[in-house]
Structure 1
Amino acid sequence: MCGIAGWYRRGGRPVAPEIVARQCDTIVHRGPNDFGTLVDGDFGFGMRRLSIIDIAGGHQPIASPDRRYAVVFNGEIYNHLELRAELEEAGMRFVTNSDTETLLAAFVHWQDDAWPRLDGMYAVAIWDRLTRNLTLARDPLGIKPLFVTEQQGGIAFASEIRALRPLPGHVFDVDERAVHDFFGYGHVQRPRTIFRQVRSLPPGHCLRIGPDRDAQIHAFWKPEFRIRTDVTEQEWIEETRSRLRASVKRHMLADVPVGSFLSGGVDSAAVTAIMAELSGAPIKAFTVGFPNTSIDETAAATRIARHLGCEHILLPLEPDAAGTLLPAVQAAFDEPCAATSAIPHWHLSKLAAQHLKVVLCGEGSDEIFAGYKRQRTALNAARWAPLLKALGPIAGMVDRLPATSSRRWNYLRQNARRFRHAATLDGNVQRFFAGTQISSPWLRARLFEPGFLARHETAGDVAALADAHFPGSGLATLDPLQQFMLADLTVHMPASLLNRLDQTSMAHSLEARVPFLSHGLVDWTMTMPNAMKLRGRTGKYALRKAVEPWLPTGSLGLRKLGFQLPFAEWFRGDFSQFAREAWHESGARASGLLDPEGVGTLFAEHSAGTANHGRMLYAIAMFGCWWEQQRQQESPTAAAA
């Protein structure tokens, strides 16, 4: 596990070694154990390494035996031993035990056909000295990030945007459309980034660029539903158990101890249970709690940990602690991030990194086994859509329901309006985008500065996003649940969930692995009928049945909470005051993007209980922190102060 960065300047213009070293210095947190670079005329790349596999022999860059190819690589290849055996039969020889050397040999032998063979998470850069071609590749699900910028006739890449900033003559302007994304969804929609000149390489894609041609990008993997009907329910359950166990076993491959993140839910509990079964020693399991709030899962996680014989390490998270450390959490990201679980994951990663280098997590289960409540809400909206459209103005009366002194009534009124809006949209993919928004169109109309609103807020925003991500009629053959799941897997997960997991863990030099997102396991789940995933109001049906024997009685009947923040509760207390300060003191208030009066109204309404604006106030606070950090980065004097 490490961070990578490089610059193909092209045109025979030499790359200075100190520039590549400076790029790598910005991401030392991703790999504090080792450092290496290679410079070859107008090309140079490097890495910072967190040593997990072949600690002594895995130094990068690694070159092929004939010195033609060289590689830097961020991630882990869990099936590298099987691939190595196959490559050795083909006559290839190895000098290290590193999965990096196996990856390079696979590329030399199979070229781009190597990528679908890899079971792992990765962002890869391979340099061909002979043809002077650069190849970049990113794992199928987007677990590991890779950003590129094409400026001044060249191309640069990095695991984090901050590692592009040291390049001389490069500019990084804030993209207003990305700001609109952020306040609509809590993150920037990919492949866009917060900067106009930077984009994210899509998951499951590789990019190739030579000395005198434009970059060419093509996909090497994409998820597809191929439903099977020749398998019984019990067979689905047993195979779920078998395949998940095999994936967890592979993800435990390391030359250092491995722990787990454990909430009170089925996903992390299933992973931890398998680890406990396979390990010869008690697993270290890490849990964050929210004392005296409605979403505290400490008791449930503790019960599971005791049942599995884990060494359970708890972290109580209080609102005043979260408030004072909020700028530090945002500093882990190059872009503003309002992911709901960024703060607890940041704290958990900091805690876990004091004990070990690797943890396994339960992310990805909701996407492949239909575990999200919003998926069920969107299905209900689709069912109610014909009636609500037929009622027309009568259904619209929900928009005019008055606020009262009852906080519960006001929150229900707010949710009912959003439900009606989703039901009137055209198509399920549009409902997906509406369902993942942290703000409604009418809230953004109050939030944005009028000029910014006019430039970027249109009635067809969700329709435009649906067309951009799913052009044509490619989803027409899928039922509504499958459409929602595919959108979650390919749009929301890499842009939000996996980005948050990578940034918060690597900020503390911790490797976070996700066994549910082995692309072979994902492919298999896409052959499973809907009824094995969503049964009535119960999501993840087959998974629940598969892991039931491993967990304490009654564990699977608890309400799903996960690593969330109690926004509505915290933003009525001292945390709200910190958010106000972040907004007023950062300079974001004078950016011309948000309307100060509108922001003030949101704070007032939330405090009074007439609406729940917790998610949006959190986004405003995080944007303020990000804006201030950008200002200091651009002003050495301010940064020094």
Structure 2
Amino acid sequence: MCGIAGMVLRRGRVAEGDLARMAATLAHRGPEDTGHYVSDSFGIAHTRLAIIDLAGGHQPIFDAGKRYALVANGEIYNYVELRAELEALGARPQSHSDSEVALHGWAHWGRDSLKRLHGMYAFALFDHAQRELWLVRDRLGIKPLYYARLPDRLLFASELKALLPALPSTPAIDPAALAQFLQNQASSGRETIFRGIERVLPGEALRIDAELNIEHVQYWRATDVKPRELTHEQAVEEWEPLFAQVMREHMRADVPYGVFLSGGVDSAVLLAQIKRLHSQPVRTYSIGWSDARQTDELDGAQRIAQLLGSEHQPIRLSSQQVFRRLPRCVWAADDLMRDYACLPTLALAEAAGRDLKVVFSGEGGDEAFAGYGRYRPAWIERRFKSMRYPGSGGFRARGELDSSWARRLFQPVLRDALEQHRAPFVRAWAQTPAEWTDLQRRQYVDLTTNLPDDLLVKADRMLMAFSVEGRVPFLDHRVVEFGLSLPDALKVRKDSGKVFLKRWAESFLPADHLWKHKAGFHVPVGEWLRGDFLAALAQKLPRNAAILEWCRPEAVTALLARQAAKHDATREVWSLMQFAIWHRLFVEGGGSRAVPGAEEDPLAWL
């Protein structure tokens, strides 16, 4: 796991100092090594967290003829097989790094090499002969990659915060993206919260020439998956060798690894498979509350850890210990998104980072195998919502803000943008093939919106804030293609989702664990936003620069009074507070403010 950055200038030579400053902003992603390369108007930089080939994996990487130079973030899991194939074709790798196979693969197969890669990755490849730069992101968007095209240059980086110091000024906020944050938890698609900074999309490669022209190449689409008619037994026969190979590839590392054990199905399945394929005990981590009033899943995680013989470390934190991580959490994410689970995930990453560089987690299981309750609405609910909220089959129909507050709180430009918050979901729904079922369409919408722009931002940034690499086997593209293709009847029934995975796992995990109602990890946001803290917040928030620009201060004051009296405006208050902290860090501070400590008073960052 690493960080990458760089630039292409229309005229002139890239200054090495500019690359060094961008790379320094990504030091948390790769604290062990740094490197850069400049060829006139092209420059690339890298920060390294060594996972494979600890001694020989320095980047940038070059081929023997020095035509290509590459910097990469992530892992190419099938590097062993690709290396053997490339050596048979005459390639002579200089290291045992997994990233080097991407370089030699490109040299032999060009852009077709992308279809051969298994893994999570974002890389930049410079071609001296063609004087062009390629930016490539993995199929599901597990690894991030952003870029900004200016009249005189193009910049790219693994995180937004690395782009900001290289821009002539802090870019304006995009009202549509801000509206999506407020209503959907995160903005989705190419556009980010900053106008002019865009995402390389999942499964996409960008070609940038010396004149800053950009060609977009989509090398993988989930919509190419064809529905299949299979029995459960036929599906299991195909699934078992497939997932075993996926796990073998994901377990390749030259450092120890662990598992985030949530108490649910997906992480338990991962631990069971690791135990089957790995002879040594694996470290596992789970998080819960020291205050017994809060709901967590420590007991379920402990049970699975004992059953499978892991070296388990339960982490118990007080409510305030978690809440005071909010400023660091907002800094780590930088791409504005609201997911309460970021806070406990950040605490888990801090604990695991003291012991390990790599952890497995269960992201993607619900999307690939239809685990969410929203995938199986009652017929009448689906019919009603599809009529009232057309364009997405009634899926992702309503925003998260109370409609009356949405009308009152915001300035006109943002209020108008809020009306279009469903656009990413409608757009994704329209991309799905006619032969797909309603369930497959719902899976696809989440796979292309909420997953890359919320859940995977959480998984990548919270872990990388403490230099930990997260591996997510359920988001191997072969697993996603398999899960999408299954008949609905194998995935859901009226009272349960993820049916195929649970039935298959009954042979090695307790049935009562697999089929129990998921209690979840309750984050007590409502308890934080009351009492003395809320009173202090009411004094500061209406006068905050972000609130004054985008909101009506008198309405914000009324919102805070409502929260104090009724405690029913938690989501709205939290959203405004988080936006204000983010604004202080990345707009007022231009990304150059000091990094918040592990635990700090959120009020200090308003």
For the aligned pair, the TM-score class normalised by the smaller chain equals over 0.9
Aligned partners of 1:204 and 1:220 also within 8 Å: yes
Q: Is the 8 A contact 1:582 1:624 kept in 2?
A: no
Matched, 1:596 2:557: no
Equivalent residue letter for 1:271: L
- Are 2:424 and 2:449, in contact at CA under 8 Å, matched by a contact in 1? no
Give the whole-Å Cα distance in 2 for the aligned partners of 1:605 and 1:377.
Answer: 32
Distance 1:637 1:93 in 2: 45
Q: Deviations over 1:18-71 (max 9, x none)?
A: 110111000000000111000111111110000000010110000011001000
Deviations 1:299-351 (A, max 9, x none): 11111111111111112232212222211111112233211211011111111
Map 1:186-197 to 2 at 5 A.
Answer: 186-197=185-196
1:206 matches 2:205:
yes
Q: Report the counterpart of residue 418 of structure 2 in structure 1.
A: 457
**Residue aligning to 2:582:** 626
Task: Write the distance in 2 (CA, Å) between the matches of 1:440 and 1:251.
Answer: 42
- In the TM superposition, what are the counterparts of 1:416-435 in structure 2 within 5 Å? 424-429=388-393, 431-434=394-397
Q: Secondary structure at the match of 2:43?
A: strand
Tell which deviates more after alignment, 544-553 or 374-383: 374-383
2:136 & 2:199 partners in 1: Cα distance? 11
After TM superposition, give the deviation of residue 228 of structure 1 in Å: 1.8
Question: Structure 1: how far apart are the matches of 2:167 and 2:199?
Answer: 21
Offset of 1:576 from its aligned partner? 4.8
3-state SS of the aligned residue for 1:226?
Answer: coil
- SS of the residue aligned with 1:21? helix
Take 1:87 and 1:639, find their aligned partners in 2: how far apart are those partners? 43
TM-score normalized by structure 2? 0.92
**Aligned residue type for 1:448:** F
Instruction: Give RMSD over aligned pairs.
Output: 2.5
Q: 1:550 to 1:72 in 2, by over 3 A?
A: same
Deviation string, structure 1 residues 80-136 (Cα, Å, up to 9, x no partner): 111111111212122210111111001111111111210000001000112111111
SS of 2:495's equivalent? coil
Which residue matches 1:616? 572
Helix, strand or coil at the partner of 2:148? strand
Query: What percentage of aligned pairs have identical amino acids?
Result: 37
Normalised by the length of structure 1, the TM-score is 0.87
Asked if 1:556 is matched to 2:509, the reply is no
Give the AA of the match of 1:433: R
Deviations 1:206-243 (A, max 9, x none): 000112361000100001341222x3212323543443
Structure 1 range deviating more: 153-162 or 237-246: 237-246
| Closer, same or farther: CA 504–582 of 1 in aligned 2, 3 Å | farther
CA shift digits 1:475-507 (9 cap, x unpaired) = 443222111111011111101111111111111
Map of 1:153 onto structure 2: 152
SS at match of 1:39: strand
Which of the numbers 397, 402, 406 marks the counterpart of 1:444? Answer: 406
Distance in 2 separating the partners of 1:610 and 1:331: 27
**Which residue in 1 is equivalent to 2:312?**
312
State the AA in 2 paired with 1:598.
A
Greater shift in the superposed pair: 82-91 or 352-361: 82-91
In 2 relative to 1, CA 106–448 (structure 1 residues): closer, same or farther, beyond 3 Å? same
Q: Secondary structure of the equivalent of 1:627?
A: helix
1:77 aligns with 2:76: yes
8 Å CA contact 1:6–1:158 kept in 2: the answer is: yes
> Matched residue of 2:136: which SS?
strand
Q: Aligned partners of 2:426, 2:201: CA distance in 1, in Å?
A: 17
1:580 offset after TM fit, Å?
4.9
SS of equivalent to 1:70: strand
| Alignment correspondent of 2:64 | 65
Cα gap change, 1:213 to 1:289, in 2 (>3 Å): closer
Instruction: Give the aligned partner of residue 134 of structure 1.
Output: 133
- Change beyond 3 A, Cα 1:485–1:576: farther
SS of corresponding position for 1:46: strand
* Residues in 1 aligned to 2:440 and 2:388: alpha-carbon distance in whole angstroms: 20
Q: Give 1:539's aligned residue.
A: 497
Q: Distance in 2 between matches of 1:637 and 1:502?
A: 22
Contact 1:632 1:639 in 2 (8 A): no
For residues 533 and 514 of structure 2, the distance between their equivalents in structure 1, rounded to whole angstroms, comes to 33
Instruction: Please say if residues 357 and 509 of structure 1, whose CA atoms lie closer than 8 Å, have aligned partners that are also in contact.
Output: yes
Residue 8 (structure 2) pairs with residue 8 (structure 1): yes
Q: Matches of residues 431-510 of structure 1 in structure 2 within 5 Å?
A: 431-434=394-397, 437-449=399-411, 451-458=412-419, 461-462=421-422, 464-471=423-430, 474-510=432-468
What SS is found at the alignment partner of 2:226?
coil
- CA displacement, residues 119-174 of structure 1 (integer Å, 9 cap, x when unaligned): 00000100011211111110000000000000133211100111112325355222
CA contact (8 A) 1:241 1:547 kept: no
Report the Cα distance in structure 1 between the residues aligned to 2:116 and 2:316, rounded to whole angstroms.
Answer: 42
Trace 1:72-471 onto structure 2 (pairs within 5 A). Answer: 72-167=71-166, 169=168, 171-212=170-211, 214-224=213-223, 225-229=225-229, 231-290=230-289, 291-293=291-293, 295-377=295-377, 381-383=381-383, 385=384, 424-429=388-393, 431-434=394-397, 437-449=399-411, 451-458=412-419, 461-462=421-422, 464-471=423-430
Secondary structure in structure 2 of the residue aligned to 1:550: coil
Rounded Cα–Cα distance in structure 2 between residues aligned with 1:637 and 1:46: 22
User: Using a 3 Å threshold, how does the CA distance of structure 1 residues 56 and 233 change in structure 2: closer, same or farther?
Assistant: same
Residues 546-555 or 115-124, more deviating: 546-555
**TM-aligned CA distance change 1:163 to 1:610, over 3 Å:** closer
> 1:400 is matched with which residue?
none
Contact 1:303 1:552 in 2 (8 A): no
Q: Residue 332 of structure 1 aligns to a residue in which SS?
A: helix
Instruction: Give CA-to-partner distance per residue, 1:281-307, whole Å, 9 cap, x none.
Output: 211111111343453111111111111
Aligned equivalents of 2:281 and 2:428: distance in 1? Answer: 44
Q: Which residue of 1 aligns with 2:600?
A: none
After TM superposition, the structure 1 stretch with the greater mean CA deviation from structure 2, 268-277 or 60-69, is: 268-277
Amino acid at match of 1:504: M
**Number of corresponding residues:** 595
> What letter is aligned with 1:588?
A
Deviation string 1:248-275 (CA, Å, 9 cap, x unpaired) is: 2221110000101111110111111111
Distance 1:309 1:585 in 2: 54
Q: Is the 8 A contact 2:3 2:29 kept in 1?
A: yes
**Partner Cα separation in structure 2 for residue 608 and residue 241 of structure 1:** 55
In structure 1, C-alpha distance between the alignment counterparts of 2:461 and 2:591, rounded to whole Å: 24
| 1: CA distance, partners of 2:540 / 2:94 | 53
SS of the aligned residue for 2:28 comes to helix
CA distance in 1, matches of 2:327, 2:542: 14
Task: Kindly state the Cα deviation for residue 564 of structure 1 after the two structures are TM-superposed.
Answer: 5.2
C-alpha change, 1:575 and 1:350, in structure 2 (3 Å) is farther
Equivalent position to 2:475, from 499, 517, 531: 517
Give the Cα separation in 2 of the matches to 1:476 and 1:609: 47
**What corresponds to 1:391 in structure 2?**
none
Secondary structure of 2:485's counterpart equals coil
Q: Which amino acid aligns with 1:226?
A: K
Consecutive unaligned residues of structure 1, counting only runs of 5 or more, are 386-420
Q: Distance in 2 between matches of 1:210 and 1:91?
A: 29
Pairwise CA distance, 1:579: 5.8
Q: CA deviation at 1:426?
A: 1.5
